[in-house]
Amino acid sequence: MIDFNTIRQYNFPTTIRFGAGVIAELPDHLRSAGFHRPLLVTDPVVAQLDFFRELRKKLEDRGLSVEVFSDIHKNPVKSDVEKGGAAFTGTGRDSIIGIGGGAAMDVARAVALRIHHHRDLFDYDDLIGGDVYVTEEVPYFITVPTTSGTGSEVGRSAIISEDDTHRKRILFSPKLLAKMVYADPMLTMELPPFVTAATGMDALTHNLEAYIAKMWHPLCEGIALEGIRLIHRSIVTATHQPDLASRSQMMIGSLMGAIAFQKGLGVVHSLAHPMSSLLDTHHGLANAVNLPYGMRFNIGGCEEKFRVIAQAMELRDNAGGEIGAVNIAAGEIVAADRAAGEAVVERLFDLNRELGLPVKLRDVGVREEHLAPLADLAIADFAHPNNPKPVSREDFYQLYKEAL
């Protein structure tokens, strides 16, 4: 039995302090590192929570001058970053702490880039080679996740949208890795069921898509499989009857997904991103609804990997037998692989239902007239080139139509 009250340290490559109550170390860490004027970057909801107020008080009680920036959108835009940068310089900050989910992390990381890099923000877009302009140092940067979804705490990139078109841009550099991560599962204990479920399915999507992405990267694939196992085991409990074990497994599984998807993502994220841009859909929810359809699209050609996924998810047939177990000598492997893929897809549909999440796009506000513009955005998205099989605009349109 794992003791989740034990605080552990991982270096992968960022230093990760993980365990219940580990956030209490933050004030002394800042002081010992010589930083006394942090900018706390978070979202408007987290900024009002009791734990955040308590954390700010503990920092101030240790003699630290604290400034909070929380004026950000749930799908961050360029102006959020510019305002955050102005808050940093205008109040004389010396460090940045990103606290919250993916939106807060993205803005905090982009603000860290902004402080000593003064070109137009989107000149640094990795999709146009802008990472070559990231030449200066960045302020001391710490991340504190409060959800188990994006895994942005261990990331090297920030996704920021244009204010007018909502086109997503990627700001990337190894310089944007946090110097320290405080991953405290106790900070997620009060998350409402919907947020737990939607962000958890986002984390599961990261692990699943990373595992089947076309680049060969056995390190990431091993991490992704364990992330799949941990999240599948814990997400229902964490959503409906949260305890320390389930919340801890979700947090580490989320973190693992973000490490794994440096290998790449795929069709599901390219289906989900346009929904956030066009309809302001919660990213995790968009992933959750599209996940079974995108995974079904990928079975052909990836049958063996789906068999391994079924084993990681510990799926069983009606007789209690392990789905994906095969007698290779008897030549059963091909049929078993195909069956395992379908079993994984059906389990993803069932998992959404167990979590109280929809399985059809119409239930999240998508209408027939949205399908064509969504398909246009999806084919232009950055994620699907790493999908294990090519995806055309017509494929995207048909996937949206099937899911509608």
CATH number for the domain including 50?
3.40.50.1970
Residues 113 and 260 in one domain: no
Residues 184 and 197 in one domain: no
Q: Are 220 and 228 in contact (CB under 8 A)?
A: no
Residues 245 and 360 in one domain: yes
Q: Which of 150, 168, 188 is the last residue of a domain?
A: 188
- Report residue 398 as tokens: 């048909």
**Stronger pLDDT, 97 or 334, i.e. the higher one:** 97
Residues 165 and 297 in one domain: no
Q: Give me the mean pLDDT over the 374-385 stretch.
A: 95
Residues 127 and 177 in one domain: yes
Q: Are 236 and 200 in contact (CB under 8 A)?
A: no
Residues 226 and 304 in one domain: yes
In terms of residue numbers, what domain contains 18?
Answer: 8-188
Q: Which of 188, 210, 231 is the last residue of a domain?
A: 188
Residues 165 and 44 in one domain: yes
Residues 153 and 21 in one domain: yes
Closest among 207, 214, 211 to 287, alpha carbons compared: 207
With a pLDDT cut of 90, the percent of the chain lying above it is 78
Residue 345 pLDDT > 70: yes
- Taking the C-alpha atoms of residue 165 and residue 398, their distance in angstroms, rounded to an integer, is 24
Residues 170 and 255 in one domain: no
How does pLDDT run across 326-336, given as a tens digit for each residue?
544 444 555 55
What does the DSSP 8-state code read for residue 129? T
Residue 363 pLDDT > 70: yes
Closest among 77, 69, 79, 76 to 99, alpha carbons compared: 69
Residue written as token pair 């959404």:
352
Residue 11 pLDDT > 90: no
Residue 322 pLDDT > 50: yes
- Taking the C-alpha atoms of residue 40 and residue 165, their distance in angstroms, rounded to an integer, is 28
Residues 36 and 157 in one domain: yes
DSSP class per residue in 12-58: SSSEEEESTTGGGGHHHHHHHTT---EEEE--TTGGGSHHHHHHHHH
Q: Check residue 328 and give its pLDDT.
A: 44
- Report residue 374 as tokens: 């969504």
Give whole-number Cα distances, 155 to 108, 150, 320, in Å.
12, 9, 39
Q: Check residue 77 and give its pLDDT.
A: 92
Contacts (Cβ under 8 Å, ≥6 apart) of 179: 14, 15, 140, 141, 142
- Report residue 350 as tokens: 């069932």
- Structural domain count of the chain: 2
How does pLDDT run across 142-160, given as a tens digit for each residue?
999 999 998 999 988 898 9
Q: Which of 150, 170, 188 is the last residue of a domain?
A: 188
What mean pLDDT value characterizes the chain?
A: 91
Residues 273 and 363 in one domain: yes
How does pLDDT run across 245-294, given as a tens digit for each residue?
999 999 999 999 999 988 899 999 999 999 988 898 999 999 999 999 99
Residue 182 pLDDT > 90: yes
Residues 108 and 202 in one domain: no
Instruction: Please indicate, yes or no, if residue 62 is contained in any of the structural domains.
Output: yes
Q: Check residue 330 and give its pLDDT.
A: 44
Q: Provide the 10 A C-beta neighbour count for residue 12.
A: 12
Q: Check residue 280 and give its pLDDT.
A: 86
Sign (positive/negative) of CA torsion 196, 170, 219, 185? negative
The one-letter amino acid at 403? A
Instruction: Please indicate, yes or no, if residue 352 is contained in any of the structural domains.
Output: yes
- Taking the C-alpha atoms of residue 374 and residue 367, their distance in angstroms, rounded to an integer, is 11
